[in-house]
């Protein structure tokens, strides 16, 4: 029984992510909106997608359309345009960092190898797409996946590699 549910979870995970060339796409949230018109209800969909190369580049996109696949395609296209480079320290981040967006706050803490990604779904999607394998995270405030993704990327943009900090301060760090 347990292996069946584990297999189902793996299949669900495959539905949420796909690889296009070398980029990893993860659908974080799909929202359905309805407008009541003369003939009934008209539905539209909005998709939030995180895209990354698994080697330190990550971006997010938000797309809207009348069907789910076109909204995901639009989000992926926007995500490719908004990709940012983040410094990695082997399989984790160089230092602790805090990011905010709206009411969402995210704290990212580097972890030792073998820890894994300790994060919720939205923050996990960003970390895995960026290629971070060992990290501890905590989110405060809003639990809206859209704002959590934006807060996480805002935190990752604040990261600086060790040699950058050494150069700016004029000291060597051990």
- Segment 97-127, tens digit of pLDDT: 999 999 999 999 999 999 999 999 999 999 9
For 17-33, what is each residue's pLDDT tens digit?
666 568 899 999 999 99
Shared-domain flag, residues 99 and 134: yes
The pLDDT score that the predictor gives to residue 15 is 53
User: By the 8 A CB rule, do 67 and 82 touch?
Assistant: no
* Digit-coded pLDDT (tens) for 38-57: 999 999 999 999 999 999 99
Q: How sure is the predictor about 163, in pLDDT bands with cuts at 50, 70 and 90?
A: confident
pLDDT score recorded for residue 165: 83
Residue where a domain terminates, one of 84, 106, 127: 84
Using the 3D structure, point to which of 50, 84, 118 is the last residue of a domain: 84
| Structural domain range at position 144 | 87-161
pTM of the shown model: 0.84
Question: Looking at the structure, do residues 57 and 123 belong to the same domain, yes or no?
Answer: no
Q: How many CB atoms lie within 10 A of CB 32?
A: 9
Q: Are residues 98 and 153 in the same domain?
A: yes
Structure tokens at 50: 């995180």
Q: Identify the domain boundary among 84, 109, 134.
A: 84
Count of domains in the chain?
2
In a domain, 45, yes or no: yes
My answer on whether 20 and 67 are in the same domain is yes
How far is residue 159's CA from residue 93's CA, in Å, rounded to a whole number? 8
* Residues 80 and 6 placed together within one structural domain of the fold: yes
Query: How many angstroms separate the Cα of 103 from the Cα of each of 93, 100, 119, 142, 144?
Result: 24, 7, 18, 5, 9
The verdict on residue 170 lying in a domain is: no
pLDDT in tens, 127-159: 999 999 999 999 999 999 999 999 999 999 999
What confidence score (pLDDT) does residue 9 get? Answer: 47
Q: Tell me if 138 is assigned to some domain.
A: yes
For 111, the 3-state DSSP assignment is coil
Evaluate if residue 173 carries a pLDDT over 80. Answer: no
CATH number at residue 57: 3.30.160.20
The answer on 77 and 36 residing in a single domain is: yes
For strand 135-141 and strand 117-118, is the pairing parallel, antiparallel, or unpaired? parallel
What confidence score (pLDDT) does residue 4 get? 56
CB 49 within 8 A of CB 150: no
């Amino acid at each position: 029984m347990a292996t069946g549910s584990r297999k189902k979870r793996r299949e669900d995970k495959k539905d949420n992510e796909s690889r296009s060339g070398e980029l990893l796409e993860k659908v974080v949230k799909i929202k359905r909106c309805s407008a009541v018109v003369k003939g009934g209800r008209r539905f539209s969909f909005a998709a939030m997608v995180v895209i990354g190369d698994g080697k330190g580049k990550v971006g997010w996109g938000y797309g809207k359309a009348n069907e789910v696949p076109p909204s995901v395609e639009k989000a992926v296209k926007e995500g490719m345009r908004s990709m940012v480079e983040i410094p990695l320290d082997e399989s984790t981040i160089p230092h602790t960092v805090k990011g905010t967006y709206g009411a969402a706050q995210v704290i990212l803490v580097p972890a030792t190898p073998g820890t894994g990604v300790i994060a919720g779904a939205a923050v996990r999607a960003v970390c895995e797409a960026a290629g971070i394998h060992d990290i501890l995270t905590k989110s405060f405030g809003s639990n809206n996946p859209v704002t959590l993704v934006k807060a996480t990327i805002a935190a990752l943009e604040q990261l600086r590699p060790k040699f950058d900090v050494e150069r700016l301060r004029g000291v060597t760090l051990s």
